[in-house]
Amino acid sequence: MRHTSLWIGISMMLLAPAVWADASDGQRIFQQSCAACHTVGEGKRLGPDLEGVTKTRDSAWLNRWIREPDKMIAEGDAIAVRLLNEYGRVPMPNLGLNAEQADAVIAFLASGSGAALPAAATGIAHPEPPTGEGRGSVQNTASIAFLAITAIIVLVFLYVARSTGNPMPVDVQKAYKLRRVFFISGLVIVVGLLATTLFTTPYPDAAGTPDRVVHVTTLQFNFVFTQEPVASAQDLQTAGRIGNLELPVGSTVEFRVTSLDTTHGFGIYSPQGAVYAQTQAMPGYTNRLRVKFSEPGVYSVLCMEYCGAAHHLMKTVFTVRNDDHA
Amino acid sequence: MHEMKKVTLGWMAIVLVLFPILLLLGIFMRAVQANGLANAEEWFYPFMTLHGVGMVGVWYVGAMACAERVIARYTGSNDGLSYVAMGGTVAGVVLLLVCVLGGKFASGWYFLYPLPFKGTWPIWSATTFLLAMTVMGAAWLVWSLGLLVGIARKYSLSHALGWHYIGGATEPDVPPAVIITTVSLLAAVASLLAGVVVLVFFFVELLFGIRSDALLMKNLTFFFGHVLVNLSLYLGVAVIYDVLPEYAGRPWKANKIVAISWNSVLAIVLMAYAHHLYMDFVQPTSLQYLGQIASYASSLPPAVVTIFGALTLVFHAKMRWTLASGMFFLALMGWAIGGVGAVIDSTIAVNAKFHNTLWVPAHFHTYMLEGLVLMVLGYFYHYVQEHTRIPESGLVRILTLGLFVIGGYGFLATFYLSGANSVPRRFATYPAEVAHGATDSAVGVMFAALFLLGLVVFTASALRRWFRASSDG
């Protein structure tokens, strides 16, 4: 009996990391693919609260529902149709997850720990609250220029308004001369600014080569990183999903961004919480965003084009590392 | 009551009823963003749609109604046209209310393709929304074309556009309001035709399942939206050109420079829309450059000719400061400040950081709230005041203008601050990365409430004159 208990204990110790790995993978996938529409124990969003769902639904059914919700709805699966009607006829999207990934999500949901799994065990770095004010040098320069010009405008309007307290004729010729000076000065400033800023664009240089290409597929309300391009939901299963994107510091990465449904935005936020780079994601098109990452840390990605009810919840993260693990 | 007066009072009533409601929706949105309204989040995007479409529509029809009344002095009026536009507008508003309140339709005001077909709302609400756009678009197109025909009956196109001034002639005398209104109406026709094409593509997909090209639709949509908003401002400026001289006691005539300026505006405004697509990297790069060049160029004619002209008109003038003239003067300042915010954002390198952050609503709310709104409300007030001559209270004037300035610019400052701090626009609530946006929103609510208070004071004063003008017959 003692031997039996010992063996059971040893077996459990050996199996636990495997189950834990499944659950932790599942949490990562859940956060990346499901969390915009579902919570675990925090109430309904676009879809149901999934706390205890593994006790009320058969695991084979759940696995298929996670992988092929579109097909199950089309086939008229009774539970699928009931859920569709109950949640405002908002269909659960096909996110291109395979059977193993679906099992990992189920394992996470069955673990009963919800969001309580330790971050270290999830293999995904969660963004720390931003330490900066969300402003980079461009934002600072633009804000200062705006404030300065606004102050001048306000002062001029105040000066002119006050002048009406002392009515007198205005020399029109003098005003015309001033206008000419104003126009020429304005023209010089406009041309000068155009010359200095026009070619500082975020558009990729055809001649350059990035260190790495990452394909980004957007769909309500998820970002999916893959090794290969994606043209349909089915491609997501075979395109080499990158679960935990890590990039080396100093590398130039080209994100090839597209959408499978409506227009989204792909806005990369620096570890300080400032917009670092962005492009739009349009159905039928691929925008190439080339970014050099000069600082390590966790970068968030937010949707920068309004895309529907859970637009503000659509996000993901990736890590830029300054070691050789990336 | 004279038919012309009845029409203008009708438009004034529509604006005064709809504006506070739409303003409250805006305050609701900022309150949700401030985490101040638990369980109301699900209404954020439907109300955002109603607020956006409503505000753009209200200030377009408001500006059209004012410009129509101003140029009627020179071209005569066609009130039947105005009633068609009014009927279309009211029908459109009803359809909008049905699809948003009944179906929670929430595609945003520019209903970017293919979002109306990809939302969490029922398809009937998307169809109703598209019908609302169709009804209003058709009515406004008829209105714009009709006003152009009215101008053409009095002036040839070349005279209405002031080309004879450019050629060196000084006769015939064409008021600046006519030139600017003609420019604006031509832009309106172009804008509304683009809107018609967008709607046709939507209906083709709805009825026959034929999908459209997302990039083409985006270009058409932003051409429509950008031009519509800008021409609304130009119509407001046309009104100021005509009315401000009455308060300054000096003439503000058209000449070669004014004609060159406004003709160039027509060309530039049609190209500047491209700055809305900077972050669509598949757009031809030449169009991106054109977007920045046109946006920068668009700042010169208004600054050098209109703003400078207005300041010269007022400088050391024996100015009759009233609520209306104060609003006009402040409106020009708001237009200028909003324009600066817009030009900064139209720099491609800056837009890469500011695109779809709160900097965008910051600048367009500046030239709308502190520009066009003051132009249109100022003119309506001027109109009923001219008809009633009720003595104006200095206290009401100071209170109204003070609340408009403090409330309005305080509210706008929170948008600019959030935008500079990378807070995205159109987020019902803010994730941890941009959580500071919630604080800005809360402050914004307080300042917006002050603006609303100013509007209440203004409306009370304006309605008193409105009722008197209505009953005077």
SS3 letters for chain B? CCHHHHHHHHHHHHHHHHHHHHHHHHHHHHHHHCCCCCCCHHHHHHHHHHHHHHHHHHHHHHHHHHHHHHHHHHHCCCHHHHHHHHHHHHHHHHHHHHHHHHHCCCCCCCCCCCHHHCCCCCHHHHHHHHHHHHHHHHHHHHHHHHHHHHHHHHCCHHHHCCHHHHCCCCCCCCCHHHHHHHHHHHHHHHHHHHHHHHHHHHHHHHHHCCCCCHHHHHHHHHHHHHHHHHHHHHHHHHHHHHHHHHHHCCCCCCCHHHHHHHHHHHHHHHHHHHHHHCCCCCCCHHHHHHHHHHHHHCCHHHHHHHHHHHHHHHCCCCCCCCHHHHHHHHHHHHHHHHHHHHHHHCCHHHHHHHCCECHHHHHHHHHHHHHHHHHHHHHHHHHHHHHHCCCCCHHHHHHHHHHHHHHHHHHHHHHHHHHHCCCECCCCCCCHHHCHHHHHHHHHHHHHHHHHHHHHHHHHHHHHHHHHHHHHC
Contacts of A90 in chain B (CB under 8 A): 120
Chain B from 197 to 236: CB within 8 A of any A CB:
213-215, 218
CATH code at position B394: 1.20.210.10
Residues 6 or more apart from B24 whose CB is under 8 A from it?
B452
Structural domains counted in chain B: 1
Radius of gyration of chain A (CA): 27
pLDDT for A104:
86
Cα angle B145-B146-B151, degrees, rounded to a multiple of 5? 95
Chain B from 347 to 366: CB within 8 A of any A CB:
347-350, 352-357
Do B432 and A311 count as a contact with CB atoms less than 8 A apart? no
For A116, which DSSP code?
Answer: G
The mean pLDDT of B221-247, rounded to a whole number, is: 96
Contact A122, A262 (CB under 8 A): no
Hey, what are A202's tokens?
């975020």
Nearest to residue B404, comparing CAs of B429, B375, B369? B369
B74 pLDDT tier (thresholds 50, 70, 90):
very high
Neighbours of A233 (CB within 10 A): 17
Pairing of the two strands A252-259 and A212-219: parallel
pLDDT for A52:
84
Contact B78, B146 (CB under 8 A): yes
Residue A269's beta-bridge partner residues?
A275, A300
Residues 6 or more apart from B219 whose CB is under 8 A from it?
B273, B277, B283
Average pLDDT of adjacent 10-residue blocks, chain A of 326 residues:
50 47 75 80 80 84 85 84 76 78 86 52 44 77 96 97 95 90 92 92 85 96 94 89 92 96 96 95 97 94 95 94 68
Instruction: In whole angstroms, give the CA distance from residue B369 to residue B362.
Output: 10
pLDDT for A132:
56
Chain A from 235 to 254: CB within 8 A of any B CB:
none
For chain B, the distance separating the N- and C-terminal CA atoms, rounded to the nearest angstrom, is 4
Q: Which domain holds residue B447?
A: 3-472
Chain A from 123 to 182: CB within 8 A of any B CB:
127, 129-130, 133-136, 138-140, 142-143, 145-146, 149-150, 153-154, 156-157, 160-161, 163-164, 166-170, 175, 179, 182
Contacts of A288 in chain B (CB under 8 A): 281
Q: Give the Å distances, CA to CA, from B102 to A191, B42, B93, B105.
A: 51, 13, 13, 8
Contacts of B431 in chain A (CB under 8 A): 300, 302, 312-313, 315
Hey, what are B364's tokens?
């367009």
B83 φ, ψ (degrees, to nearest 5): -70, -35
B376 pLDDT tier (thresholds 50, 70, 90):
very high
Q: Dihedral of CA B399/B405/B408/B410: which sign?
A: negative
ipTM score of complex = 0.94
List, for residues B10-68, the tens digit of each pLDDT value. Answer: 999 999 999 999 999 999 999 999 999 988 999 999 999 999 999 999 999 999 999 99
Chain B residue whose CA is closest to A179: B304
B448 pLDDT tier (thresholds 50, 70, 90):
very high
